[in-house]
Each structure stands twice: as structure tokens, then as C-alpha cells.
Chains A and B, each alone.
Chain A
Amino acid sequence: MTVFHFFNCAILTFGPHAVYYSATPLSEYDTLGTSVKAALVYLGTALVKLVCLATFLKVSENDSFDPYQELLKALIGFIDVAGLYFALTQLTHRNISQNHKFQAVGLGWAFADSVLHRLAPLWVGARGLEFTWDYILQGIEANANLVLIISLAALGSLMWLRKNKPRTLIPIIYACAGIVATMPSITSYLRRGLGWHFPKVVGFELFTSLVMAIISWQLFAACQRPSA
């Protein structure tokens, strides 16, 4: 029964990535290589981030919210954006359209993130006899994260790869990218600064990720139009 529960949670956590890959044209253009590369870049970025966190952050004894430390953490969080930039622009990809490139990169990035952050707790926790909602919520969080990272990748590809975009949209694109990139810090603030419970935080994440996804979709479509 507990292995069953683990299985369920794993489906919820990692299923959407697979579904996304197989349902969208990504599978038709065989972009798996791009995704794998993005995942590798993610691992490298995570390592750099860890080193930075270990170097610059103090270990707080209590779980309180320290604004200065959090700011530092948010800044370190921007290493993610740098990593994404590297994955989008510097890696040599097989000839695939920009349209698919950012999706493939985002997917690989999100999958690596899920594996790194969620697989181990899931393996340890969800197999135990004790039932909690945590792992189901964690799975939903993984879904929100996938949406968020693909949005970020989309905005990134707009910023760095697309040359002829409407001038009026540029500040909006940057603003949205900024919001999406600081989202981990925002949720961390909600959870620890305001003491929100896990379900509420997950609900917020789900909501914002959907909103940001719709916004970035619209932006992407708007940028697409003149070229089309």
C-alpha cells in the first residue's frame, strides 16, 4: 500500500513532464538531447548555487525570516537565470526552432529540479506507513514549478533570442521575467515570513504559475505575430 502511495506521488511529480514531452511537438522533433543538456546545465548551476549559499549564508539556528539573508538568497537565486541563459544561448543545439528550444530547455530544467529536490524526500517519506498530505502537495508543487520554469524559459528566449520584438512589450517582458525569477524567494517569504501553511503556499504557487504562464503565452504570441 505504501509503495502504491509512493507510486501515486511519483506519477503526480514526474508524470506531467513526460506527458508534456510526448503530447507537444517536442517528441516529434526529437528534442530529448536538448532537454538532457538543459538538465545537465541545471545540475551544474545547482552546484554553483550550493557553493554560493554555503559561502555567503550563515546557518540560522531558528527558522525565522531574516530579510538580509533572504535578499542574499534571492540574489543567489538569480544564478538560475544565468544558468538558463547559458542553456538557451550558449549551448549548441540541433537545428530546432526557437519555439521548441525554450520548451525543451524548460522541460529538462524542471525535470532535473524535480528529481534533485523531490525524489529523495519522496523515496524516504512516501514509502513509510504514516500518511500525510505533504507528498501529494509536493507533487502539485512540482506541477506548478514546471509551468513556472517553462514560462521563465519562454520569457528568456524572448529576451535573449528574439531580435525584432515590439518595443512596447520589452519592459513588460523584463518585469514578468523578474517576477518569475523571484518567485522562489516570494514563496519562501510566504512560508517563513508570514507563516503560511504548506497547502496555502502550494495553492498560491499553482495560482501564480498559471497566471504567469498565461501572461507569458500572450507575450510570446504577441511577439510572434509581426514575424508571422
Chain B
Amino acid sequence: MGPRKAGEREMLESVYSMIALVFVLVACVELCDAATVVDVYRLIQYDISGVPFGSRLAALNHHAGSLHFAPGADLSRTVLIIPVRDLDISFVKEYITQRQPLGGLLFLLPQMFSFENRDDTKSSHVNQGELLKTVVAELEQILIHAKIPYPVYFAFEDDDIDAVLADVKRNDAIGQPATATTGGFKLVVSASEPKKLASPTITNIQGWLPGLKTDGDASQLPTIAIVASYDTFGAAPALSVGSDSNGSGIVALLEIARLFSILYSNPKTRGRYNLLFGLTSGGPYNYNGTQKWLRSFDQRLREGIDYAICLNSIGSWDNELWIHVSKPPENAYIKQIFEGFSNVAEELGFEVGLKHKKINISNPRVAWEHEQFSRLRVTAATLSELLTAPELLERTGGLVDSRHFVNETAIVRSVKLVAESLARHIYGHQGKNIQIFADDSVLAVNPSYIRSWLDLLSRTPRVAPFLSKNDPFIMALKKELEDHTNEVNVQHEVLDGMFTFYDSTKARLNIYQVASVTFDLLLLLVLGSYLIVLFSFLVITTRGLDDLISLFRRPPSRKVKTA
């Protein structure tokens, strides 16, 4: 019996240590058993010259509420879930401008703004979509330009979150807003304090297609620059894919580079112009990257640029494009560019208009990319579907600028326009009706190339401060330009100090269904009375009522008894 017992004890001890180990492990495991987990995207947080803008908090731990809250309710510990579909923009404006206390905001965006959206039911929703687009664009501008002391998140509508919202709405409708004492849903985002991004870099990529040099140096040849800025800015940095602004410009630039690389690969068709392709960053910030890029050119190269065409937002127009210039239209170069473009446009069946906007040197705002060229006395124009110059941080590829609203054929036509007019200029066919990039030739514009790049861009958020130097996206752009041009240079610069950005753009939102404190208190009460009743019952049945009474009457008596 003895040794058997010892062996048993040993075994039991090992079991104990294993159980203890399990408990230690369990205690370490982070709990994640929420009813619903949703990907959420935080409103951007940034400073302009030290003045704070955007959402200033990331961590969220409050009860959910809907817009159907009781009037006069205290919302300082409530996260309002607002579907953008039935958004009352004046309400948001009022809440934000009056600095009303809120626990947080969660905007639900329709799936059509999501880059995973793949439905082809465009036509049926076009009107509703356009309406929604203007509302969301307005909302975005309000949010970007306000300082909001609570967390603001965006999420996409899906079944789970719709079910939660329906539940919350029902509770609100019967006048039982969610607070700590009534249960409901709790929204939790565990995020640390947003940290400043240390010196955000911007990366410019340039590619050269040298022209045919007959005698002397190639750099003596005149240069034509095609430029597009590729980065975006929006209310939610992780959602700022900018399909139109300026995804369409990048796609067009890459396609033009591809077409001319075919022409320039053969000495017979190589033109007497150098082509310079520039993908610039810092577009939303007064084309800071373009400025740095131009400054890095040496004098000779800069003077060698015949003219520069900047591509900006050319993905959703119907029959009119605009050429924006800063020099007066009477200028001979401008006239030449404009006539070249409008002739080709006429043949393609649409119109090109000319818009002149003078540069005010004292104003730091640079509305168009070509203005950076013009400031350095390089002839330049911007091709865009926009009629007027956007304000700072407007039309920079934010929330609404999704793939859903971009038309591939518009990009194809833009590419044709630019490529054809450039080719006529390079080969000296101005005014002649020769189609170089005819539809069924080797040099035809390739719609599937455009589509695949547009799809990629529409999935890639490109807010410059959040793109690292060696971001896969930048590497992909570089590689693509390397395929089409001879000399590719990547230039890293520091974004000028006016802007400061903060991290944590993406998070996971846990939605818990919680019981209220009142419920737990009641439960404790019930359990307490249950145990007391059980105790009394057991004492009475096993020892008799007198014992129970004596237990309460003379507590010391038990001590005497046991002793």
C-alpha cells in the first residue's frame, strides 16, 4: 500500500503542475471572443503648422448608440453608429462645429466605396451613387478640416454590423439608450496613443526615354515631360485609394510610357525628343514632391524641357477635358500645345477646353501640378476633367474616389489624346490626320493593361506619409517604369515641415454584447439569497431549526462546542 500510495501522489503532483501550467497559459492568452469583429479605418490625424486637425484619439471603449437617441441624452460615453446612407449632414456639422461631447463616431460606408466591391450593377445605382458621393465628399471635407477630440472610425456595411445597428436602433426607439446600467453593445478598439510619424518621406520616380541623337549629346535634344502625382490624401488614410485622383493619371502615364517605349525601341521610329516620365509624390501638399523633383534637376536639363504635360483626374469625364495653364493663352507655346490637343480631340469626338489661372507667387497654395513647373519658368499644362482648381486637400483621392466611379473608357480616350498629340508633335505631323496609335495596330491602347493597373491602384492606399521608402507599391511602380524606359531614378525627399501626421490608421473593432452592472448586481443578490436559503435548508434538515437559530443568537457557542 505504501509504495503504491507514493507513486500515486507523485502522479497527482505532476497533474497539479500541469494544471498550474494550463492556468498560467490561459491567463496570458489575450481574450478575443467578441460577437463581431470588424475592420475599421480611423479618421486621419494631422497637424498643419502645429494646428491640430482630424480625430485626436484612437482607443475606443464605449456603448453603441444610433441616431435615434432620445433628445437631450448625454452622449459623452456613446459611440454613434451612423450609416452614411441616411446621414443627416447638418447634424454632423452641428455636432462637430459646436464641439458637442461624444464618445466616438462610427460611419458605415456603403460597399460601393469599398475596393473589394466587384458588382457590375453600376447603371442601376448611378443616381443614388452620385447623390451619396456628394454627401460623403462633403462629410469628408468637414471631418478633415475639424479638430475632433474623440475617435472617429469608418467601416463598411455588412450583415454583422447591420444586425448590431438594427438592435441598437430598436433599443433606442423604445427609449432605452445604451449606458453602463442597461447593457446593450459595447464597441472596443484597443489601440495605443497615436504617435507622430517621424519625418515622412516622399518618393519621386522618374524614367527617361532618350531620343535619337544624330550628333552630339542626347541631352541637347529637347525634352517633353509627362508627369502625374501618385499619392493621395483622404479622411481615412487606409481607404484613400484615389482611383480617379490620381490613379487615372498614373495609369495613363504608364500606358503612354509603354506605347512610346515600343516606338523608341526601334531606331527608325525613335523621335528627336527625350521623353521624361515623372511619378511624383506629395501632390495633396501643394505638389511638394514635384517642387523637390524639379529643384533637383540641373539647369541645363530644366531648360531643355520643351514642355510638360501633367495628368490629373482623367478617369470620369464624358465629353470635355480641360487644359489648365498659368501662362496666358496667347503665349505661342501654349497655343501650340492647345491646338495640338484640340485637333486630336476633335478627331476622337470630344472637346478640350483651355483654362487660364494666373499664379500668385506670394500665395503658398499650388492648385495644379503644372504651376510648380511654371514657377520655374518651364512651359507646362495640366490635363484634367476638373473645371476649377481644387482647394487644399480637396479632390485628392479620398473616401469617395473609388473604382466604382471611374470609367476605363475615359482613361483610354485620355491616353489616346495625349499619346497622339505628343506623337504628332515629336514626329512633326501637326495638323495631319494620321493615326499613330490606331485601334487595331501594334500601337493600340491596351484596355486590359489599363484595367489591371487601375484595379491595383484602386486597392492600394497611397497616402505619402504612410508609404515607406521601399513600399511594395513604390517598388512596383519603379519596376513598371523600368520595363518601359531606359533610366529610372528614385528620389527620396522629406516632406516639408508644415504637415505632421500620426499613425494608427487601421484597427479592429470588437463589438461585444454586454450585460449591465445592474444585471450583475441583481444576479449577485439572487445568488446570495440562494446560498443563504440553501444554508438554512441544510442546517434545518441536518441539525434542526434550533441549531440555525442558535447560530445567529450566540455565535461563541459554536466555538465552545468545537473546542
Interface residues of A (CB under 8 A from B): 1, 4-5, 7-8, 11-12, 15-16, 19-20, 22-25, 28, 40, 43-44, 47, 116, 120, 123-125, 127-131, 136
Contacts and interface: CB of A to CB of B under 8 A. Distances in A.
Contacts of B514: 1, 129-131
A15 B531 contact: yes
6 contacts: A11-B531, A15-B531, A40-B8, A44-B8, A128-B512, A131-B514
Contacts of B528: 11
Given A43-B15, A44-B12, A130-B512, A23 B538 contact: yes
B538 A19 contact: yes
Given A8-B524, A20-B538, A47-B15, 12 more contacts: A1-B520, A4-B520, A15-B527, A23-B539, A123-B23, A124-B29, A124-B31, A128-B34, A129-B34, A129-B188, A130-B33, A131-B515
Contacts of A125: 33
B125 interface: no
Interface residues of B, number: 40
B527 A129 contact: no
The 4 closest A-B pairs by CB, nearest first: A23-B538, A129-B512, A131-B515, A130-B512
Given A8-B527, A129-B512, A23 B534 contact: yes
B513 interface: yes
A40 B12 contact: yes
Most chain B beta-carbon contacts within 10 A, residue among A20, A23, A127: A23
Interface of B: 8, 11-12, 15, 19, 22-23, 26-27, 29, 31, 33-35, 180, 183, 186, 188, 510, 512-515, 517, 520, 523-524, 527-528, 530-531, 534-536, 538-539, 542-543, 561-562
A128 B33 contact: yes
Contacts of A40: 8, 12
A128 B535 CA distance: 31
Contacts of A130: 33-35, 512-514
Contacts of B183: 131
B31 A131 contact: no
B31 A127 contact: yes
By DSSP majority rule, is chain A's interface helix, strand, loop, or mixed? Answer: helix
By DSSP majority rule, is chain B's interface helix, strand, loop, or mixed? Answer: helix
A19 B530 CA distance: 11
A1 B34 CA distance: 16
B559 to A, nearest CB: 12
Contacts of B531: 11, 15-16, 19
A19 B8 contact: no
B183 to A, nearest CB: 7
Contacts of A123: 23, 26-27
Contacts of B513: 130-131
A1 B519 CA distance: 10
Contacts of A7: 524
B555 to A, nearest CB: 14
Nearest to A27: B562
Given A1-B520, A8-B523, A23 B515 contact: no
Contacts of B515: 1, 5, 131
Given A1-B517, A28-B562, A44-B8, A16 B534 contact: yes
B534 A44 contact: no
A23 B180 CA distance: 37
A129 B536 CA distance: 35
A125 B33 CA distance: 8
